[in-house]
Structure 1
Amino acid sequence: MKRNTLNSFLLIAVVATTIACRAKKAIVSLPKQADSTAVSTTKKSENIKMLRANDLSFNTLSLKAKASLNINGNSNNVTMNFRIQKDEKIWVSITAIAGIEVARALITPDSIKVRNNFQSVYLKKPFSYVHRYTNNQVDFSLLQAIFSGNTIAAFMKEDAVLVQENGLWVLNGQQQDLAYRVLFNTLLKAAEDNLNDVKTGRALKVEYGAYQKVNAALFPSSIKINSIAGKQRVSIDLDFLKIESNVPLEFPFSVPVKYEVIN
């Protein structure tokens, strides 16, 4: 039981990256069509650079969101706080409605630590542990891109297929067993990421809501994540309440002596 519950929290954390908002920032309206200055569809490298140019540039991100979690049909409403040090670490804290922290995670390019306060257990694993739930091509930079609403660098390559469908950019490709399809909106920001493992049937779908301004760049006001890995079905709906970038952050993570270390 402890292991199953901890694994669920782990999956939340890994599938689960200015001026602070006291309320939501003004939503940026979608133009009817993409920027007419976009490069010709025959010039793939220039178009890829154009899409990547819209990424949010940051050193740190601090995010607070109301979240609806559904794990194999069991739903809970919680608050999730994310702190991201670019290319170094992602810190996640999950609190219940009463303000009680039920889990905390610290993810780096090399390792994953998860503290389950609900059951007083702790897990520390190499980053490759996430591949129990996802494709082997999923790495730290991909998770960071998902939580920051940025393009996934590993997909923005010359061997990908980049076309326009109904006036919108669509990126398709495959890396080993991982097939991906990314849809962009008329703001030239990601609207939807689809990842599918063609061998195992594991799938991850990320949908981005309306975008808002953060330091002259764009950040999604909401993110919906749906994951399928074998019998595991996890969905996370994040509705961001506060977004701060490039502010000093701490990433506290300690484990009480009484906690049981599990494998």
Structure 2
Amino acid sequence: MKPYHFKFFLLLGVIVLLFSACKTRKLVLAPPVVKTDTVNNIKAENLMSLKNKNISFTTLSMKGKAQLNMNGNENNVTVNIRMLKDKKIWMSITALAGIEVARVLVTPDSLLVLNRLHGISLQKPFNYIHTFANKEVNFKLLQELLAGNAPQEFLLEKVDLELQNGVWLLKGSRNNLGYQILFNTLLKAEETNLNYILAAQTLKVVYGNYQKVNADLFPSSMQLNSLSGKNKVAITFDFSKIESNIAMDFPFTVPKRFEVIN
């Protein structure tokens, strides 16, 4: 793995955790067809059907490979993402040689990043994320997107919801943040688009095929494309192992020799 500047790990950690999805894989489940003659036209009930497809978990673990392309510079790593619902999002980034190069811990109040290659630790309040993303981004939104859920805060009765070619399309806006979610025939999010008009920031998240884990459906792959000014970022994930509701830890200790950047 090439030597990296600290910002690479910071951006990787922040962007990956902001909006995470990747290679095509055979469907684990055959998608049922949504029949228009069984669709209830009452918006509130249709929204509730979509909400009910969101997964619920206490803990969630996703392991696999990630490819990051930032303005044409491409890097391949292995990622291990763990979540403790509403409390922690933890990520370990490993070089293909098996050496951990960075670790990230996000809580509702803070952002912590370890750069092991350069012995540097970053400690910031959560709102530091807004340096890279819209101020509407909060911890729960990150959590929902990583789990492949349609964010609850977008599933409101004031949105536009219509059936197109047998699948639902949802459109809405909030505080200059426009959003659009296309669902698949499983009633799971297939594509999410966010557009922050004032800052010319756009994000497109495409979820790949879903697989069953316990009683829920999780995306086994993801693809992210982000544009902010002249900066273009593309991240792809291919998760080889997904587990939910199991005991797991979230180790994050800053060695004394590390330089701490506040």
TM over 0.5: yes
Of all paired residues, the percent bearing the same amino acid is: 49
Mapped partners of 1:30, 1:179: distance in 2: 29
C-alpha distance in 2 between matches for 1:5 and 1:168: 38
Q: Distance in 1 between matches of 2:58 and 2:37?
A: 29
Note the C-alpha offset of 1:229.
Answer: 2.3
- For 1:70 and 1:92, the matched residues in 2 are separated by 19
The CA deviation string for residues 28-83 of structure 1, in whole angstroms up to 9 with x for no partner, is: 1233x325675423x11111110011111211001101111112211111110011
Tell me, yes or no, if structure 1 residue 136 matches structure 2 residue 135: yes
Secondary structure at 1:67 match in 2: strand
Q: Work out the CA distance in 2 between the residues paired with 1:124 and 1:164.
A: 45
2:7: which partner in 1? 4
Residue in 1 that maps onto 2:185: 186
Partners in 1 of 2:80 and 2:29 — Cα distance? 24
Q: Kindly indicate whether residue 174 of structure 2 is the aligned counterpart of residue 175 of structure 1.
A: yes
Q: Kindly indicate whether the alpha-carbon contact (under 8 Å) linking 1:64 and 1:242 is maintained by their aligned counterparts in 2.
A: yes
Q: What's the secondary structure of 1:45's corresponding residue? A: helix
Gaps of 5+ in 2: none
Residue identity opposite 1:132 in structure 2: T
Equivalent-residue separation in structure 2 for 1:35 and 1:120 (angstroms): 57
Q: How does 1:24-39 map to 2 (within 5 A)?
A: 27-31=28-32, 33-34=33-34, 39=39
Matches within 5 A, 1:18-57: 27-31=28-32, 33-34=33-34, 39-41=39-41, 43-57=42-56
TM-score of the aligned structures, taking structure 1 as reference length: 0.91
- Cα 1:38–1:232 change in 2 (3 A) is farther
**RMSD over aligned Cα, in angstroms?**
2.0
Q: 1 CA distance for matches of 2:38 and 2:110?
A: 40
Q: Does 1:148 align with 2:153?
A: no
- Relative to the length of structure 2, the TM-score reads 0.91
SS of structure 2 residue aligned to 1:199? helix
Runs of 4 or more, structure 1, over 3 Å off, are 1-7, 35-39
Give 1:187 shift: 0.8
The separation in 1 between residues aligned to 2:82 and 2:38, in whole angstroms, is: 34
Contact 2:147 2:218 in 1 (8 A): yes
More deviation, 116-125/186-195: 116-125
Structure 1 residue identity aligned to 2:133: T
Deviations 1:181-214 (A, max 9, x none): 0000011110001001011011111111111111
Counting matched residue pairs gives: 255
